[in-house]
Amino acid sequence: MPALGADMTAGRLIAWLKRPGETVTRGDIIAEVDTDKGVIEVEVFTSGVLEKTLVEPGAKVPVGTPLAVIREAGGTPAPAPTPVAVPTPEGRAPVSPAARRLAAELGVDPAAVRGSGPEGAVTLEDVRRASGKGVRGERMRQAVAAAVTRSKREIPHYYIGHTIDLGPVTTWLAEQNRDRPVARRLVHSAVLLKAVAVTLRDFPELNARWVEGRAAPIADINVGLAISLRDGGLVAPALHHADRLSVDELMSTTLDLVERARAGTLRSSELSDPTITVTILGERGVDTVYGVIYPPQVAIVGFGKVVQGAWVVDGGVVVRPLVRATLAADHRVSDGHRGALFLAGVADRLREPGRL
């Protein structure tokens, strides 16, 4: 309700001259209002569509009361839309000129390649990935090759293995997951990572950096999780402060890291910060993994495949899900005794997964 006179405090709406749904243009007369000075026409100052009226004809309302809602034409520009593969009417997504040229060279059909560029366009990287020759994969392979060569040349590795009964973990996970929606469900890996991270608090000689001839302990426990990239290559980005994250947080962070590792959008801090690496290769069907330490780290923990096996409980043989845990560590910094205590500590923690 406009103030149609300096001393006007209220006005009575007489009639609407436009109906909801009608387009209004700036300057149109939209209503008639009765004031002390007589009937006055009310004009609008915006253009758009009259969405709804808020005051009935006959009602007297104070100046300033909203009378109607107008949906303006235009408005704020939309934020950049999340790109989705949008096929053209012929059913083909756009292909960048560079990608099309490379596809021709490599004998790849660009129409069959999934695009990750703006508006679902097929890009160079998409074509490379489809042909099995990921550029990022190659760069990364070379980096990994250099790191493991140096590792085997300079670090005296010792290896310890330990079989752990994951019965309590499996039972606990089944109970947890029964009531959880899929997006919040947990997998074994998250529990294993937490057990390793927490146990490391007592074993600083396994969470250190080898620099200039000595091991410098690191206060933070940033567990690097080995993630294989689908076009070949391996990254082990850090789960920062893994010992302080809950199992839930470790799970969601792991999902995020895997997603971004595959998309190539890991942050440099994630790649440079791991203080130890954990590799969980059991899914590929091997029962034991002997890791290669990534310098300047001084240890790497491995987990193999969870298999149902014979286990002795209270003098009797039962079937339990068993996993083979291994530690490869730098013998200049720790010895087998400490390594063994570490793995035993991890096993202890996995007996009570609810307390992790």
Residues linked to residue 279 through DSSP beta bridges, in sequence order? 302
Distance between CA 229 and CA 138 in Å, rounded?
A: 11
Among 254, 275, 279, 326, binds another protein (CB under 8 A): 254
Closest CA to 224 of 295, 283, 173: 295
Task: Work out the number of other CB atoms within 10 angstroms of the CB of residue 119.
Answer: 12
Q: Which two tokens stand for residue 144?
A: 């990994």
Among 35, 53, 96, 222, binds another protein (CB under 8 A): 96
**Per CB under 8 A, does 199 bind another protein?**
no
**First and final C-alpha spacing in the chain:** 62
Among residues 94 and 345, whose Cβ is nearest to another protein? 94
Shortest distance, position 114 Cβ to another protein, whole Å:
5
Site for another protein in 263-282 (CB under 8 A): 263-269
Shortest distance, position 252 Cβ to another protein, whole Å:
10
Stretch that binds another protein, among 23-31, 161-169, 205-213, 258-266 (CB under 8 A): 258-266
**Per CB under 8 A, does 189 bind another protein?**
yes
C-beta of residue 48 within 8 angstroms of C-beta of residue 72: yes
- Max distance between CA atoms of the chain, in angstroms, equals 102
Among 33, 44, 53, 115, binds another protein (CB under 8 A): 115
Among 185, 209, 338, 351, binds another protein (CB under 8 A): 185
**Per CB under 8 A, does 168 bind another protein?**
no
**Per CB under 8 A, does 117 bind another protein?**
yes
Among 177, 307, 311, 340, binds another protein (CB under 8 A): 177
Number of residues that bind another protein (CB under 8 A): 49
C-alpha dihedral over 49, 55, 58, 62, to 10 degrees? -120
Stretch that binds another protein, among 59-67, 125-133, 145-153, 237-245 (CB under 8 A): 125-133
**Per CB under 8 A, does 109 bind another protein?**
no
Binding residues (CB under 8 A) for another protein: these are 80, 83, 96-99, 101, 114-121, 123-126, 129-130, 132, 134, 174, 177-178, 181-183, 185, 187-189, 230-231, 254-255, 258-259, 262-269, 283-284
